[in-house]
Amino acid sequence: VLARPRARVVSPSLFFSPIVVVFARARVAIAPRAVVIAIFARSSFARASLEKTPDFTAQKRKRVSFMPRLLDNNRAKHLTSDIQTWQRNVQRDISAVETVRFGDDCFVGEGTEIFAEPGRDVALGDGARVAARCFIHGPCAIGARASLNANAHIEGGAVGVTIGDDTRIGPRFSAFAFNHVFDDPETNIREQGVTSQGITIGKDVWIGASVCVTDGVHIGDHSVVGMGSVVTRDVEPYAVVAGNPARVIRYRKRPPPK
């Protein structure tokens, strides 16, 4: 019976990096060069590891900028000292160049622009939240604990836009508190001026994404405006409206008789 051939034992050194193998086979004369190569490889690897370290601070700011509700859902986790310091600096810088007043515990997301000339003030109540990439041109008053989600656009016209306490407004919302005059068909519209009546949005209102509100509209307290609606007339308190133009779908609670 033929003996079973013994398995070849592979030296563990064969699994080492090529640099170590080179060092093991090198003569004494070239050993220092191999050591230099090994040290350089290790330092390059360490440097590459440091360069690939994610920037968690920037990502954290981006996250709360687009989802400021996180600050209220879990304050201990998201409203940390670095976020508070960042927000104090952001709001200080805005107030230094525009007539903007911030209450306590406000938040303004990255990329948001607020413009408020003297006489066209913008005011944010305590705990108000404005998410990333919003545009606000005063006059505008945003109530306490009200929130404006990303990419909202507010133009205050001459009279202004008022948003009540505890109102929630979805992304891509727009409110234009002015209208172009276009009565004379023989004159360029841009030369006929504008009018402004102002827009008022009540307390505890929920406005869905991509809603547009036109000048002169009053939206009553505790009402709901469906996604994508164009609001061209007043909305009663507790009404649920949707469509273009927005119409009453139902009432959350019948308003008291006038």
Please provide the distance, in angstroms rounded to a whole number, between the alpha carbons at the two ends of the chain. 111
CA distance 237 to 254: 8
User: Which pLDDT score is estimated for 53?
Assistant: 76
pLDDT > 50? residue 44: yes
pLDDT > 80? residue 169: yes
Residues 98-109 have pLDDT tens digits of 999 999 999 999
CA distances from 256 to 70, 220, 223, 251 (A): 36, 12, 14, 12
Q: What is the DSSP secondary structure assignment for residue 54, as one 8-state letter?
A: -
pLDDT > 60? residue 12: no
Q: How confident is the model at residue 21 (pLDDT cuts 50, 70, 90)?
A: very low
Q: Between residues 44 and 231, which one has the greater pLDDT?
A: 231
Residue 168 phi, psi dihedral angles, 5° rounding: -115, 125
The pTM of the full predicted model, rounded to 2 decimals, is 0.78
**Lowest-pLDDT range, 75-79, 98-102, 240-244?**
75-79
